[in-house]
Structure 1
């Protein structure tokens, strides 16, 4: 893993987009995913395993969610992975973590919480082609068969119908990234996808720290955060776009018109 501290907006852009040129395609088409966090000391534990809270309740939580979810949702869900994505999207503790294909969406989540503007933040940048090298053979074969680099819920269901089968694939930790179904405009606008590991107690940052290639941890100093936030607002990367509806509009207005702390 490479850790890098950036000092300016331009240096940040260079770091986010470095290596994006795809020689085979002749286009700037990177194989990166991003996760922005407002405090550099925040780790990559999931809501399920943060402080060990729900590690043993994964099946109970998901079973109850499926039982009590609105019937309209049930008509769209065809696999466990669909249900897992829906549950994560609505705040249930799961083993999933939210990521995005967009570096600027990641920067939004780095700077959205103005209460943490005085803290250094972090953006994780992961090359999923590198992490895919450690996948079990059935998952690699599925990617090759589909000509894909990240999974869909349908692709995962074809290889592992439930989480127990997924966890039994190998004893070695691995991570994969999958795109959820387009449940609503929020997922679409955030260019969202999820990471998932083969165990409830595994932490992604601990796994990524051992990777020699394809992982960058970009440290954004507190002094740069307000410039990043203002330029994102100018580029229309805001709550109003990323959380469509009145709730997102209100979140944007509240933050946008709040005074900057001295």
Structure 2
């Protein structure tokens, strides 16, 4: 993949975001960013966490869907013991599972380019590699717009039990720490069984959205009622319809953050308030911030 941007300073990064990207018309739609301490070309492809388990790539779409549904069903059976908010859809259930570390087909992104930059440079001390911020340029549909009927409808997959794993390879894609039928918490928005045995009608309306396991394109999901961290990080989730495959290179733009710039960028982000105690509004965030200020840079507290 060609790399149009290589960043060597904090100001250069800001200029890239505000001038280069905006000048090319990206301001006409929402932008989503993902910061990674390793580049996609260096063994860290843009995939959801479930893709890290290589044996899953050998499963058909139907078998993978069934396994994901069974895992989520077990998780959901325990969910109401620990949360105050009752999930209304399987999308919410899966977002909560993602937040608590369960591998899912959701991938974390943010609408804040400084948050993405933070994740790209925060934990790179002692490393010898550049990091990167990725910009999603494929303009996926938003779950909220679909629900309100303000976006073209998503055609759901058919019978997941009989569908071959490569059924959609021809049109897999055109282009950056959160369903149906699993548990009693699944709402009327879900339209199929956990095994996918029931085929969904092609005429899906704004209140009858496919579950995350029945979509045929990537969808941006803004998870409600999940975590203060997600709100602090302006986080969104990308639901990947082919979760064991990396995003196509045409889906994103790579902004390489040179290793030589990391330390200065970390200091500048701290000055701008984009650091641990702001992005992790809990004791973990306070501890990380104190670790950085007192021990890593011997700064003022």
Matched with 2:271 is 234
Asked if 2 retains the 8 angstrom alpha-carbon contact of 1:33 and 1:128, the reply is no
State the superposition RMSD in angstroms: 3.2
Matches within 5 A, 1:164-179: 164-166=213-215, 169=216, 174-179=217-222
After superposition, where does 1:55-66 map in structure 2 within 5 Å?
Answer: 56=64, 57-66=67-76
Q: Which moved more, 1:69-78 or 1:224-233?
A: 69-78
Once residues 47 and 237 of structure 2 are traced to their aligned partners in structure 1, the CA distance between those partners, rounded to angstroms, is 13
Report the counterpart of residue 16 of structure 1 in structure 2.
17
Equivalent positions of 1:1-262 (< 5 A) are 3=3, 4-17=5-18, 18-20=20-22, 31-40=30-39, 41=42, 42-52=44-54, 56=64, 57-73=67-83, 75-115=85-125, 117-127=127-137, 129=139, 131-132=140-141, 142=146, 145-146=149-150, 158-166=207-215, 169=216, 174-204=217-247, 207=248, 209-211=249-251, 215-259=252-296
Q: Please state how far the C-alpha of 1:127 moved relative to its aligned partner.
A: 3.1
The 2-side partners of 1:49 and 1:231 are apart by 34
In the alignment, the residues of structure 2 paired with residue 109 and residue 140 of structure 1 have an alpha-carbon distance, to the nearest angstrom, of: 26
Say how many residue pairs are matched: 233
Structure with greater helix share of residues: 1
CA distance in 1, matches of 2:257, 2:269: 15
The Cα shift of 1:143 comes to: 7.1
C-alpha distance in structure 2 between counterparts of 1:67 and 1:54, whole Å: 24
Distance 1:144 1:63, change over 3 A: closer
Alpha-carbon spacing, 1:162–1:191, altered in 2? closer, same or farther (3 Å): same
Q: Residues 238 and 8 from structure 1, CA distance in 2 versus in 1: closer, same or farther, beyond 3 angstroms?
A: closer
CA contact (8 A) 1:20 1:31 kept: no
| Displaced runs of 4 or more, over 4 A | none
Q: Distance in 2 between the 1:50 and 1:203 partners?
A: 11
Gaps of 5+ in 2: 58-63, 153-178, 180-186, 191-206
- Structure of larger gyration radius: 2
Gaps of 5+ in 1: none
User: How much has 1:65 moved relative to structure 2?
Assistant: 1.0
* CA gap 1:78/1:141 in 2 versus in 1, 3 angstroms: closer
Q: Give distance in 2, aligned partners of 1:141 and 1:222.
A: 39
1:64 CA displacement: 1.5
Name whichever structure is richer in strand by fraction: 1
Relative to structure 1, the CA distance from residue 235 to residue 191 in structure 2 (aligned partners, 3 Å threshold; closer, same or farther) is same
CA offset at residue 147 of structure 1?
6.5
Contact 1:38 / 1:116 at 8 angstroms: preserved in 2?
Answer: no
Partner-residue secondary structure (3-state), 1:146? coil
- Whole-Å Cα distance in 1 between the matches of residues 72 and 226 of structure 2? 18
What's the TM-score once normalised by structure 1's chain length? 0.76
